[in-house]
Amino acid sequence: MAVAWMNSVDRARRQRTLQGTQRKLPDSRGLLSFSDNDYLGLAENPRVAEAAIRAIKNSGTGARAARHLAGPCPEHTSLEKALAEWKGAEAALVFASGYQTPLGVLPALVGPKDTALLERNAHACLFDGARLSGARLRLFARNNPDSLAEALTSSQNLNPEGRILIVAESLHSMDGDFLDLKSLVTLKNRFGAWLLLDEAHASGVIGPEGAGWAADQGLSEEVDVQMGTLGKALGSSGGFVAARAPVIDHLLNEARTFLFGTAPAPAAMAAAGQALQIVRSAEGDNLRGKLWQNIRLYSAGQAEPKNGPIQTRIFGSNDRTLQARDSLRAGGMEVAAIRPPTVPENTARLRISLSARHSKPEISRLLQGLAQLRNV
């Protein structure tokens, strides 16, 4: 039996190697990173680090258990209050990771009698949460109101008594485009659906006080559940949702990844809390200004730039994408090579993440490295 298992594992590895999808953890030491999501450069901010150290001294290194067992922790409750205020919501709830958040939230909101409508290329965590819910899963094309209207109509006709939850990313994690939120909200209201908006990549980056795309569009009150992460612009780790108080109370009682998972470490919560203070301050405005300067600087040298910190260079084949990544690595830069199944077949790409911490010479160096890829 053990031999059969290992043969299966070996076959899978050989197949990945043949397809160009075999992965290993990169060693990026000494390389200029354009592959992480530290959009404001707060992961190495001294005050953020000091807040984490204070929390370790006050509350220890671990949360000890799920919060229903271990009891209140000041770092958790303080951060949740600040997140709710930031997002213009009544309450918020933190989870141990961004990935675990929808795995708990979606099954608590919809079930087998309901429908979850997801963007066709939504993040894997959203698909996994929808599948765990047991709800009927339907797909629609991003930023295509006709596709969404068709999915809403058919879902309502097939299951008139069931609830419909629309799930979308405000800033797409792999394509780098912003959501047409106004059109989506119009359709959501017409059909009486709910909306879960994943603001993981937009929070901290755009909107008043960096509150995200919904705030930027003046539509925060139209979003039923705002989901976010602490591991990108906030420079820490963990995930959260913000919503009306009864919804958060429901999730506190029904979201299994919250109920049965060990809570996030107090140090991570304190770090995110300090980062959030910076994000909402004049210093945060300056950091966002620097980020958008870098976006404009990068975009000036590209034929089809994205209007945000996530930029892409699509090569199509896995081999060409890996060659491009390795060429940039040889030049001292780390850029992520994104291949299926993370993105659809034949759309393998370089995913470039810009940050406020990047200098103008570093952006110019990246542009020079990309210009040399024309023959790849």
Matching residue, tokens 């984490």: 52
**Distance from C-alpha of 37 to C-alpha of 56, rounded to nearest angstrom:** 25
**Rg of the chain taking only CA atoms, in angstroms:** 21
CA–CA separation, 118 vs 196, rounded Å? 10
Residue 250 a catalytic site member: no
Of 167, 251, 240, 140, nearest in space to 200 by CA: 240
| Rounded Cα–Cα distance for residues 168 and 176 (Å) | 13
Catalytic residue among 201, 236, 294, 353: 201
Cβ count near 9 (within 10 Å): 10
326 catalytic per annotation: no
> For residue 64, how many other CB atoms are within 10 A of its CB?
16
Judged on CB neighbours under 10 Å (0-12, 13-18, 19+), 30 is: exposed
Which of 28, 45, 23 minimizes the C-alpha distance to 355?
45
Q: Which helix (H) or strand (E) holds 137?
A: strand 136-140
228 three-state secondary structure = strand
User: Pick the catalytic residue: 119, 198, 199, 216?
Assistant: 198
**Which listed residue (232, 236, 294, 334) is catalytic?**
232
The single residue of 37, 97, 121, 133 carrying the catalytic annotation is 37
Check if 37 is active-site: yes
**Residue 172 bears catalytic tag:** no
- 94 has which bridge partners? 240
Structure tokens at 125: 């965590």
**Active-site annotation holds for 114:** no
Query: Given 173, 294, 318, 355, which residue is catalytic?
Result: 173
Distance CA 148, CA 118 (A): 9
Cα dihedral 347/349/353/359 (nearest 10): -140
Q: What is the DSSP string of 277-333?
A: HHHTSHHHHHHHHHHHHHHHHHHTT-SS--SSSEEEEEEESHHHHHHHHHHHHHTTE
Known catalytic membership, residue 57:
no
Q: Is residue 169 annotated as a catalytic residue, yes or no?
A: yes
**Annotated active-site residue in 76, 87, 123, 306:** 123
Catalytic residue among 114, 169, 199, 216: 169
Catalytically active residues are 37, 123, 169, 173, 198, 201, 232
